[in-house]
Structure 1
C-alpha cells in the first residue's frame, strides 16, 4: 500500500545485564510497525532485518521481519523477502513466518519528512535499486487473493493456461507479454532496474486486465498494454521500466 502517515516513539532499549541502555526509536507506518529500533535495524543487510532482538540488541539474532528495502525509481519499496533468494544457511532456519508481512510503498516526500524527524533513518539514496527479480516478486504480490496460492514466477506461467479473457490485448498477446517479462527477469535477475513511478490518475497508456477461470472469475489489471512496459502496483500506481 502507499503509505500516508508515520509516527516515531522513543523508548529505552530493554535491559541487558548492567550495560547502559540506549534509546530505541520505534517506527510505525499507517498503524504497521516497520521496525522496533530505527537505530539498530539491519536496514542495509541482505535481506533487510527490521526487527531487533530485545535480548542482545542485534537484528541478525532476531531473524524477524526480513524484507527487501529498495529504491523503486524515486520511491522506496519495502516488502517481504523472497525465501528462495536467501543463502542456503538461512533457508534452513527461516520460513514465511520470519518475513515482513506487508507491502509498503513510500513516496519520496514522505520518506524525507520521516528522515527529517528521525535522523537515524537512512536516506532513500542509501538503498540499492530494485532488481529484476525483486520487482517480479513485488509485482506478483499484487495478484488477486484468489490467485495468491500460486505467487511464484513459474506458477504465473502455468496460471496463464486458465486465462479466460484479456482486455484490451488479445489472450495470445497477453501471454506473449507475460512470457517476455519472465524472460527479461530470468536473463539477469540481479540487475538493478531503472524506471519511474506514475500514479494511475495521470497515466495515459492503456492498462491490460486479465480474467481467469474461477467462481467468481478473478480479474487482474496487471500491466500496460503498450510499450514501455509498466507494472501496476497497489492498484494505484504504475512502475514504468526504462530500457
Structure 2
C-alpha cells in the first residue's frame, strides 16, 4: 500500500478492495473433527507447507528416501473452496487419493493418521495440472523445481491430527516401479500431540504381501499388528493394523506406543 493510502483521508474503490483482500487472506479456518474426516473419505484439504525444524521424527528404512516435514503447533491451516476433482480428458486425476490409516482417542481427544497418494503424471500437461492442485493443497514436494520434475513420479504425504490440529509427518517421491518387497519397511515416528514429545506414533510402508508387523518400544514391550482389509472400527476407532491405501502400490501400518515409552524399531515379522 502506498504512503498516500496510509495517510490520506479519502479511499478509492481500489483501496477498499485491497484492504478487504488483505483481511480475507488472514482468516484461518480450523481442521474438521476427526470423525467427520473418517466419514468424509476423500476430500480437499489445504495445508500450508513448512519444513520441520528439529522435529522429533525417527526414520528406519531399507528402500527409498523419505523427507520429514511438519507444521509446528498444528496451526496456520487454510481451507480452499471445495471443487470437484481436477480430471484431465485422458482420465488422469490431478488430485490425490486420501486414506485414513488409523484413528483413536487419548486423554479424551481424537487423533488420526492419513495419507495422500498423488498419481504419477505421464506428460507435461498432467504434471502442470497436478502441480497446480498440489499448491492448493499445500503439499508441494520440496525436491522439485518445476512441473516437469513430477513426470513419471508419484508422491505420498502422511499427516497426523490430534484434537483437530494437523501436521505433516512424512513426504516421499516415488519413481515408477518403486515399491516394498519381502520384508522391506520404511517407517517414521513422532510425538502424538507435538514434535517435542517422545516418538510414540509410528507409521510405515511395507509390501502388500506382509501379514504381520511388530513395533517394539524402548521399555522392551511390543505391539503386533495384523492385516485389517475390512477397516474395522470399534467405539469410533479405526483399529491400528496393516491396510491398503488407495493409489499406493504398498500396504501401510500405524502403531502407537503406550504412554511412558517410545519407538525403538519396527519389523515385518510375518
| TM-score, scaled to structure 1 | 0.30
- Greater per-residue helix proportion: 1
Choose 1 or 2 for highest CA Rg: 2
From the two aligned structures, give the one with the greater strand fraction: 2
Q: Which has the higher contact order (CA 8 A, sep 6+)?
A: 2
TM-score by length of 2: 0.28
